[in-house]
């Protein structure tokens, strides 16, 4: 007993997408184009912060709160006084 199966390609109607290689529309390229446009717009809107003045060893001259920074030596439990 042999069964015959028949296969066919789906219709090119808009019900099934309707876009072929020759239709001129490529969803992937369209998504890439949209993403690149969004990236260009976001770059133009970036916030630019002024450079923070630094001194030797990268210690800030001004605290983030606007006051002078408090500089102190740190002592740990391993500190040995000679």
Amino acid 26: pLDDT: 86
Answer with the residue of higher pLDDT: 55 or 78: 78
Answer with the residue of higher pLDDT: 46 or 79: 46
Is the CB of residue 62 less than 8 Å from the CB of residue 69? Answer: yes
DSSP assignment, residue 25? -
Q: Does residue 78 have a pLDDT over 70?
A: no
Distance CA(28)–CA(34), nearest Å, equals 10
Q: Alpha helix locations (H) across the chain?
A: 27-44
Which tens digit of pLDDT belongs to each residue from 20-62? 555 667 889 999 999 999 888 877 677 777 766 665 566 666 6
Amino acid 34: pLDDT: 94
């Amino acid at each position: 007993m042999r069964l015959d199966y028949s296969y066919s390609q789906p219709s090119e109607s808009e019900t099934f997408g309707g876009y072929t290689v020759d239709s001129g529309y490529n969803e992937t390229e369209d998504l890439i184009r949209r993403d690149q446009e969004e990236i260009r717009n976001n770059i133009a809107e970036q916030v630019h912060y002024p450079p923070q003045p630094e001194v030797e060893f990268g210690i800030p001259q001004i605290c983030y709160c606007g006051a002078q920074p408090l500089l102190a030596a740190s002592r740990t439990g391993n500190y040995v006084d000679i």
